[in-house]
Amino acid sequence: MSEVVENGIAVTREQSRSDGLLGWVPAIAVGYATILMPLLVFRTAPAVDDPATAAASSSNLLNQVFWLLLLGSIAVAFRHRLARLEEALKQPLVVIVGLYMVLAFASILWSPVPSIAFRRATLQFIVVAALVLPAFLVEDRRAQIDRLMAVFFVTIALNLVAVLLLPAGRLGHQGIYTHKNELGLIVAYGFIFCLYGMMRLGGLGRFVAAGLAAAAVLELVVSKSKTSLGLALLIPLLAFAVVAASRFLRINALFPLFFGLLACLFVGLFVTNLVDFSFADLSMLLFDDTTFTGRTIIWDFLGDVISRRPVLGQGYGSFWDIGPGSIVLTEAPGFVAVLLQGHNGYVDVTVELGLAGLLVLVAFLACVLYNVCRAPNDRRSGIAEAWLFMSIVIVTLCHNLLESSWFRGYSVVWMLFLLVGAWAQAGRRGEGSRRSGF
């Protein structure tokens, strides 16, 4: 009987196939956000910066049915793995995410719109449970990753057809989506998965991955999403350097990552002082204005809002897009009144759940980073997998400096980070078993 080694234990091919629906959950969830919803809904919807978040912000029957059915199906699928479920619920990442959700539901008590807060917190709980639990319950984690990779292959192929056949928008091509930035962001992740496929696959699979990687670059260029193009080209190189340094020096990847970022910061500060290059000049270089396309105006407004309830915030999902009488509609300057997010994930978390929520978020990020940064020196994780995890983590951390995705709806950015965190934590499952003699 053939065996593979996964998560530190011998896994038979039959056991891997026995994962059934649990092995397909990441691909189904991400495919819903990247392919199904855009094709069914977003082509007729008004353009917004984050359609997944926008769809989650209002009552959507298709959205509710999908996530409820997925969670219900998962509950049926893991009824024979209750022992492993109990183990999963004790994992640090699950405990921290659970604490955030407890805080989110508790915030209904002080939310100005408790019904909206309850609905959004419930959706987020379902999304988190549907993605995190299967990562701990499957025998073959790598099969989950490969299926997710296939989803991005299909996504890039569909968008290539759209780019070739459909006219571009005024600001850039949006593919099958409603905004060029969404195309750019999703294709940037797809490009990373294509590079992973070139390392992971052989023969024809590697050739297909290389061709789709070239298509992804074309889509990024025609989308005119400069930020996504920069992330797609630079972050994989940075992740590879971090993983390679970690393996060569046999140290946790946190050290080369931290010192690398610190070195970039000091070099940047030195150069800006040397040539008199200011924050406004950087914004002008990247976005052709001095306010990061209005983001500094948004952040000034949100800073004032945070100062009113600094500890517990306004309530989960209780600030943006909550209807008449909200602080946004009555006090926000100009264009800010029509936004659905604060264009900074860390700031938005603080607005909604205050410093308490931000501290839990920081603990969650630290947990994910710790586990992901152990992967390069973990014999159970290949270098391609370690690089993939590192790339997704760095992209997501950077993305949330200019956009918002932490604990927000079913944003692709958020789901990928959540999955990588769960996979990295689950990858350490065998350690405790070996120490305990199991």
Q: What is the CA radius of gyration of the chain?
A: 21
Q: What are the C-alpha distances in Å from 344 to residues 61, 156, 299?
A: 28, 27, 8
Contact between 337 and 387 (Cβ < 8 Å) = no
pLDDT given for residue 170 in this prediction: 79
10 DSSP β-pair partners: 5
Q: What are the C-alpha distances in Å from 178 to residues 41, 47, 49, 165?
A: 10, 5, 8, 16
Q: How many residues does the chain have?
A: 438
Q: Which two tokens stand for residue 307?
A: 């100062």
Phi, psi of 10 (to 5 degrees): -75, 130
* Matching residue, tokens 């002080």: 110
Q: Which two tokens stand for residue 258?
A: 């931290």
Q: What are the C-alpha distances in Å from 48 to residues 32, 297, 346?
A: 18, 19, 21
Q: What is the pLDDT along the chain (438 residues), one digit of tens a residue?
A: 344 444 443 444 454 556 788 889 999 999 999 999 888 865 454 444 454 454 444 447 788 889 989 988 888 877 777 777 778 888 899 999 999 999 999 999 999 999 999 999 999 999 999 899 888 888 888 899 999 999 999 999 999 999 999 888 778 889 899 888 899 999 999 999 999 999 988 889 999 999 999 999 999 999 988 888 888 989 999 899 888 888 887 777 777 777 766 666 666 555 556 555 555 555 554 555 555 566 788 999 999 999 999 999 999 999 998 888 889 999 888 888 888 899 899 999 999 999 999 999 999 999 999 888 887 766 666 788 989 999 999 999 989 988 899 999 889 999 999 999 999 888 765 444 433 332
pLDDT given for residue 30 in this prediction: 94
Q: What is the pTM of this model?
A: 0.86
- DSSP collapsed to 3 states, the chain: CCEEEECCEEEEHHHHHCCCHHHHHHHHHHHHHHHHHHHHCHHHCCCCCCHHHHHHHCCCHHHHHHHHHHHHHHHHHCCCCHHHHHHHCCCHHHHHHHHHHHHHHHHHHCCCCHHHHHHHHHHHHHHHHHHHHHHHHCCCHHHHHHHHHHHHHHHHHHHHHHHHHCCCCCCCCCCCCCCHHHHHHHHHHHHHHHHHHHHHCCCHHHHHHHHHHHHHHHHHHHHCCHHHHHHHHHHHHHHHHHHHHHHHHCCCCHHHHHHHHHHHHHHHHHHHHHHCCCHHHHHHHHHCCCCCCCHHHHHHHHHHHHHHCCCCCCCCCCCCCCCCCCHHHHHCCHHHHHCCCCCCHHHHHHHHHHHHHHHHHHHHHHHHHHHHHHHHHCCCCCHHHHHHHHHHHHHHHHHHHHCCCCCCCCCHHHHHHHHHHHHHHHCCHHHHHHHHCC
Which has the closest alpha carbon to 51: 298, 418, 409, 346? 409
State the amino acid at position 364 in one-letter form. F
